[in-house]
Amino acid sequence: MWIASDWQEFEVLDCSGGEKLERWGDYFLVRPDPQVIWSTPRHNPKWKTRDASYSRSSSGGGAWNKNRLPERWTVGYKDLTFNIKPMNFKHTGLFPEQAANWDWAMEKIRSAGRPVSVLNLFAYTGGATVACLKAGASVCHVDAAKGMVAWAKENAQSSGVLDRPVRWIVDDCGQFVAREIRRGHKYDAIIMDPPSYGRGPGGEVWKLEENLWGFVELCSQVLSDTPLFVIINSYTTGLSPSVLTYVCESIFTRKFGGRSHSEELGLPVKDTGLVLPCGATCRWSTER
C-alpha cells in the first residue's frame, strides 16, 4: 500500500460506523466513507465537537451541518497550498491520499534531467497539476467542469505556480485526447483519474469497467517517443489494483517497455495506528 503519511495540516483521527473523523487544518469534519464497515468505540471527543458533518439522505444525496465552518479555508502539503470548500456529495475539493502520487510524480519530473510535459485528465481541482508545475513540468489540465478548472487555478495561485507553463482546458477528456492525436501533440507523462460512472457531452454513458481499456489505448497515442510515466487512479469499488497493472502492462509496457506497479492508496489513522484504504493506483514508468 502507498500511504500518504507526510501531511501536517490534514489527518484522519478515527473511523467507525461508516464515517471518518478528519482534521483539515484548524477544522474537524465527519464524513461518510463506504470502506469503513467496522463499528469500533468512538473515544475521540472530536466526534461530538466536530465543526461540521455530512449526513446522507434516505432519498439520495445529503447535506452538510456546517456548525462553525467557514465557506473556504486552506491546507498545506509541504510547499503546496490548497483551497478547501465543502461541496455536495461530501467532498472538500481534495483527496489527501493522492499526496503519495504527487510525491512520486514530482520525484520523476525532477530527476528526469529534461523538460517534461504532463497531461492531467479528469484533473478535478488540480492537486496533481499543482504538484507537477511545482516540480518544473509543463502541464495541460483537462476537466469537463468549468468550476473545477477555476478551482484548480485558485490552487495554482495559492501554491505560487500560476505563472508556470500550464494550459487550462474545459472539455470532455476523450474528445480532447482524440483532437490532440489529430493535431500531433505529444506528452511525456499522463495522469488520469477517471470516474466510476458519468455521462459525456452527448449523453454517452461512461462506466469505468467498460470504457477504461479503450480510453487508455487512446491515451497511449499521445505519449511522446520518450515517455516518462503514467498514473491511473481508480475509486471504483471492487476493481482490484492488479486489473490496472494488467491494463498498463498490455498497453504501455508492450509499446514502450518499462514496468507497471499497482497498489492501494491509504491514509494513516491516528487513534488506531491502522491505515484507511482509499482506492487504487497504477504507476507505469520507463525508468526503473
Q: What is the pLDDT of residues 236-246, one digit of tens each?
A: 877 889 999 99
Overall average pLDDT of the 226-234 stretch: 96
Determine contact, residues 25/10, Cβ cutoff 8 Å.
yes
Q: What is the pLDDT of residues 148-196, one digit of tens each?
A: 999 999 999 999 999 999 999 999 999 999 999 999 999 999 999 988 8
Overall average pLDDT of the 189-210 stretch: 81
Distance separating alpha carbons of residues 264 and 238, to the nearest angstrom: 12
Residue 55: helix, strand or coil by DSSP?
strand
In the chain, the domains with their CATH numbers are 2-90 (2.60.40.1180), 98-285 (3.40.50.150)
Enumerate residues 6+ apart whose C-beta is below 8 A from 177: 119, 121, 215, 218, 219, 221, 222
Whether residue 100 is predicted with pLDDT greater than 90 in this model: the reply is: yes
148-177 residues labelled b (16+ CB within 10 A) or e (exposed): bbebbbbbbebbebeebebebbeebbbebb
Q: Which of 142-146, 202-206, 249-253 has the lowest mean pLDDT?
A: 202-206
Q: Which of 63-77, 98-112, 119-133 has the lowest mean pLDDT?
A: 63-77
Q: What is the pLDDT of residues 27-69, one digit of tens each?
A: 999 999 999 999 999 999 999 999 999 988 776 778 898 778 8
Could you give the angle at the alpha carbon of 149 between the alpha carbons of 176 and 132, nearest 5°? 85
Helix axes 173-183, 208-220, angle to 10 degrees: 20
Helix intervals (H) in the chain: 46-49, 99-110, 127-135, 146-158, 173-183, 208-220, 241-248, 254-256
